[in-house]
Amino acid sequence: MWRPTPESAAASNVGRFMTEHGFDDFAALRTRSIAEPEWFWDAFVKFAGIEWSTPYTQVLDTSAGIEWATWFTGGQLNVAHDCVDKWADRDDWRDRPAVVWEGEEGATRTLTYAELRALSDRIAHGLAARGVGEGDAVGIFLPMIPETVASVMAVAKLGAIFLPVFSGYGAEAVAVRLEDCNAKALITADGTLRRGKLVPMKETADAAVAAVPSVETVVVVPRVGRDDVPMTAGRDLTLAELASLGPDEPFPTRPVDSEHPLFVAYTSGTTGRPKGAVHVHGGFLAKIAEEVGFQADCGPDDVLFWLTDLGWIMGPWQIIGTLAWGATMFCYDGAPDVPGPDRIWSMVERHGITILGVSPTLVRALMAKGDEYVDRHDLSSLRVLASTGEPWNEGPWRWYFERVGGTRCSVINVSGGTEVGCFLAPHVVEEISPCSLGGPALGCDMDVVDDECRPVRGAVGELVCRQPWPAMTRGVWKDPQRYLDTYWSRWPGVWWHGDWASIDADGQWYLHGRSDDTIKLAGKRLGPAEVETVLVEHPLVVEAAAVGLPDELKGESLACYVVIAPGVEPTDALRAELRALVADRLGKSFAPGSVQFTDALPKTRSNKVMRRSIRAVALGQPPGDLSGLEDPGALDAIAHAR
């Protein structure tokens, strides 16, 4: 569907890198980057202009084993220097926009690189005055606002560790993350808006901190301007009060070792405590700068918007990756369909967004609202479309490519995770098929294997990585054995990612959902995404989720939950039609045991369907960790599906 012109390919970041290193063919670059990762990452950090206060002496060190690989040995740097300070120091850059923000209520703000540096420095000085130092953990419980970006950079400047926390979490979920890292401070907001309603974040923060005695400082950012915010004397400060504690001068950003922790990002599973994935200054900066620059082709003149929250890995990805290239990041705090289904498209038009990242689930929801909401806006500023979070199905992918992008924008569909960065991605210099992830990200030795870890082609298998890469987590915080058990125990020396993937005859890579969501029907394995793809192609179905339920005869039976278009009545005839559609497309043995109509599907803030929680509700079991649930009423909808 997408074929780059020779001119556009040559002008892209990765095209210029290829020219610099004598490559005429992108496939050849991909092959060499995987075979010689030390060459590639050394060449990339030089190409990207990443600045080191102390040069590294070795690119990759695996002396402790592949599981504990380290990168850029001996090098010292700081993410905040490369993302903020070096741009603010340039006379030709300091007044360029670094962060553009819009709130759900319509308010907007812009911070230049000079203003972002000044705000980051004031926060860093204030935190230092409150005793926060190198290695201390600071929770950031904020919506996507300019102060969120400044807080991330301030913590990095100190050599401290930031803890990104979803702005929609309840007190217990916030407390677990703060307690696990023994956080010394928390930065939060007086509140935020969601669908026009106040979300009182400070009260949630107070309840969380009450259970975490290590937190000595709570900083309150005035997002909504409340005058009734509860404040605890001696512990709580407004942002202005914090800023007044330090001198009105630049904060001396502290060079740290390449392997010094930058942040701990928590994954949220169905059971057990969340896992804290540790990311470091050197490896995360290098890998994410490469992804944003080479996959999304972000450059200095771009405005990049990913609909995300800091608590999803795409939040740090957007902040660090965009600012590493001296570009402009756009952030939005609010629901994506308020006041109407054209909110995203209207922001693209108003702010001249050039790179747009969303989830396939959101595209499916907006597509169902009608083409007219897209058509009423000028989207000509867009040049790259991006996506992640869930597997695509072809109808919505084509709508995104054709209706939103006008067929002129590549669809950079990436996949990775909280612990890894991006594993798979197409690039703007290569042809892209519908729904495809292209192939391995540069420098990532990916494979698709069977249960014995043997490569498979033309069939669905497990996604694995056979060599280290810079953004791999440096372990689970305070639990090295859990890290080894989770990712390295299935096959020695091989990272098991937990995704189903396939490689077709043309060498295109595709995802098929989480392998732990796999449904087994009479001995045959079925990915839920395969079923959901068929269901949402029906003109009356807006969204769908497929799960496996225990069955005495087959082991499991296929249960489907569908959201149908507004005004459509759920009938037995439609139910039978959907069962027949799945059976016809996937085979009679995969006919759903049940099709139920629901008003909503439970999803995370990052628009991932929580299938395991659906299965638990269907079985009358505890739904597990719901800290990332966007709409608690969605589980009630599943319980009352008909």
Region 443-464 average pLDDT: 94
Is the pLDDT assigned to residue 302 strictly greater than 70?
A: yes
pLDDT bucket at 380, cuts 50 / 70 / 90: very high
Mean pLDDT over each residue of the chain, to the nearest integer: 93
Block residue for tokens 């808006």: 193
Would you say residue 368 has pLDDT above 90?
no
The pLDDT, as a whole number, for residue 174 is 93
Is the per-residue pLDDT at 269 higher than 70?
no
555: region left, alpha or beta (phi > 0 left; psi from -120 to 50 alpha): left
Please state the domain count of the chain: 1
Q: Residue 496 to residues 276, 453, 485: CA-CA distances in angstroms?
A: 17, 10, 10
Mean of the pLDDT values across residues 213-232? 97
Tokens 């990775």 belong to residue: 416
Confirm whether 99 is domain-assigned: no
In the block, which residue shows the tokens 């914090």? 242
pLDDT tens per residue across span 388-403: 988 888 889 999 999 9
- Domain that residue 523 falls in: 518-639
Predicted confidence (pLDDT) per residue in 28-39, tens digit: 999 999 999 999
- Pairing between β-strand 355-358 and β-strand 384-387 as defined by DSSP bridges: parallel
Q: Please, are residues 464 and 449 in contact by the beta-carbon 8 Å criterion?
A: yes
Q: How far does Cα 390 stand from its chain's mean position? A: 11
Task: Tell me if 599 is assigned to some domain.
Answer: yes
Q: What is the pLDDT of residue 272?
A: 59
Give the pLDDT band (50/70/90) at residue 271.
very low
The band of 627, judged by pLDDT with boundaries at 50, 70 and 90, is low
- Inform me whether the pLDDT recorded for 589 exceeds 90: no
Q: What is the mean pLDDT of residues 596-624?
A: 85
Tell me: pLDDT of 512 over 50: yes
Q: Given a cut of 80, is residue 521 above it in pLDDT?
A: no
Give domain status of residue 575, yes or no.
Answer: yes
**pTM (2 decimals)?**
0.88
- By DSSP bridging, strand 421-425 and strand 415-417 are antiparallel
Residue 523 has pLDDT above 70, yes or no: no
Q: Is residue 590 part of a domain?
A: yes
Cα gap 29→51, rounded to integer Å:
24
User: Do the domain assignments include residue 82?
Assistant: no
What 8-state DSSP symbol labels residue 254? Answer: P
pLDDT one-digit tens code per residue, 118-132:
999 999 999 999 999
Quick one: pLDDT at residue 544? 92
pLDDT band for 525, please (50, 70, 90 cuts): low
DSSP 8-state secondary structure symbol assigned to residue 494: B
* Residue 197 forms part of a structural domain: no
Tell me phi and psi for residue 528, to 5 degrees.
Answer: -60, -30
Q: How confident is the model at residue 270 (pLDDT cuts 50, 70, 90)?
A: very low
* 330: phi then psi, degrees, rounded to nearest 5: -105, 135
Mean of pLDDT values over 318-335: 97
629 belongs to a structural domain:
yes
Is the pLDDT higher at 525 or at 82? Answer: 82
Side chain identity, residue 294: F
Give the integer Cα–Cα distance in Å for 198 and 319.
Answer: 26
- The 10s digit of each residue's pLDDT in 352-361 is 999 999 998 8
CATH number at residue 606: 3.30.300.30
- Alpha carbon distance, N-terminus to C-terminus of the chain: 39
Please check whether residue 70 lies inside any domain of the structure. Answer: no
DSSP character for 400?
Answer: I
> Hey, which residues does 141 pair with through a beta bridge?
188
- Is pLDDT of 362 > 50? yes
What one-letter code names the amino acid at 65? G
